[in-house]
Amino acid sequence: ILLLCAYAYRAKNYIGVYTIYGIHTGHLAVYARGGFERFGFEPRRFSLSPAQQEKVLSVLKNEPSVEIFERQIRGQGLIGNGCISLPFQAQGYEPEVDRALRSHPEVKNWMPHFNYLLAGQGMWRYPGSVNPILLSKGLALALGKSRLYDEIGSAPPSAPDCSNPREQGSRDSNVQLLAGAWAGTLSAADGEVVGLYTTGFQETENSGILAPVSFLQKLFDTDRIASFSVWLKEPGKLPEVRKRLEEKLGEEFETLRWDEERLSPYYVGTVDFLNTLVVAGALVLSSIIALSVLNSATMTILERSQEIGMYRSMGFRKSQLKILYVEESLWLSLFSLFSGAAIGIDRKSTRLNSSH
Stretch 203-217: mean pLDDT, rounded? 92
| Structural contact between residues 120 and 148, judged by C-beta atoms closer than 8 angstroms | yes
Q: Give 156's pLDDT tier (boundaries 50, 70, 90).
A: low
Q: What local confidence, expressed as pLDDT, does residue 27 receive?
A: 96
Select from 138, 133, 251, 143 the least CA-distant residue to 195: 133
Note the pLDDT of residue 41. 87
Residue 162 has pLDDT above 90, yes or no: no
E-strand ranges in the chain read 28-32, 66-80, 85-93, 117-120, 132-136, 174-180, 186-197, 208-212, 227-232, 253-257
pLDDT in tens, 226-250: 999 999 999 999 999 999 999 999 9
User: What does the pLDDT read at residue 313?
Assistant: 86
What would the pLDDT profile of 252-292 be if each residue is shown by its tens digit? 999 999 999 999 999 999 999 999 999 999 999 999 988 98
Q: Is the pLDDT score of 75 beyond 50?
A: yes
Pairing state between β 227-232 and 117-120: unpaired
First to last CA, the chain: 19
> Which of the four pLDDT bands, split at 50, 70 and 90, describes residue 311?
confident
| Residue 324: closest CA among 301, 302, 303, 296 | 301
What is the chain's length? 356
Between 356 and 310, the higher pLDDT residue: 310
- Distance from C-alpha of 70 to C-alpha of 93, rounded to nearest angstrom: 7
CA distance 121 to 115: 11
| Residue from 327, 296, 322 nearest 311 by CA | 322
Residue 106: what are its φ and ψ, rounded to 5°?
A: -65, -40
